Amino acid sequence: MVRVRKVVLVGVAVMLLLSVLAMVGCGGGTSAADKATLSKALDKIDADIAGLTTQFTAGGTAADLKKAVGAVKPDWQAVIDAAQKVKGADVAAAQKAWTDVDTAISGLSDSTPIVQAAGAILGPIGALQKVESDLRKLAPASTTSSS
């Protein structure tokens, strides 16, 4: 009798353990909506980066670049906010990448031609793009245009 009870208790404990493991393994705490929000924020950043690239190739000064990056800041903050809800997202790296870009660009003299500024900002911008790429792996771009 005691042996049967022990077997039943061990069986219940194993079932509970398996249930907990299944719940942890399923979804990982990230909803499809959270991933979609992150994906949408990253899509906006992709568009912003394309615009900055155009500005780079069109010339201009560091003052122009500072203005453009200032306009991108809220979009990157949206990425950070969305990333906080996605399991596995390195939010600290996203925040640091933006701080590094902002610091590099803010440190430029307003009259510095963008081509000359490139040496100081390409490293931080590359790091920001790496973070974006890592986040994109967690929330791939939508392949359909449905809403």
Look up the domain containing 99 and give its range.
31-138
The mean per-residue pLDDT over the stretch 18-25 comes to: 38
Q: Is the pLDDT of residue 3 over 70?
A: no
- The DSSP output letter for 61 is B
Q: Are residues 13 and 78 in the same domain?
A: no
1 lies in a domain? yes
Query: What residue ranges in the chain does DSSP mark as E strands?
Result: none
**What pLDDT, on the 0 to 100 scale, is given for residue 24?**
37
Helix (H) or strand (E) holding 102: helix 91-106
pLDDT in tens, 74-133: 999 999 999 999 999 999 999 999 999 999 989 999 988 877 888 888 899 899 989 999
Q: Are residues 89 and 49 in the same domain?
A: yes
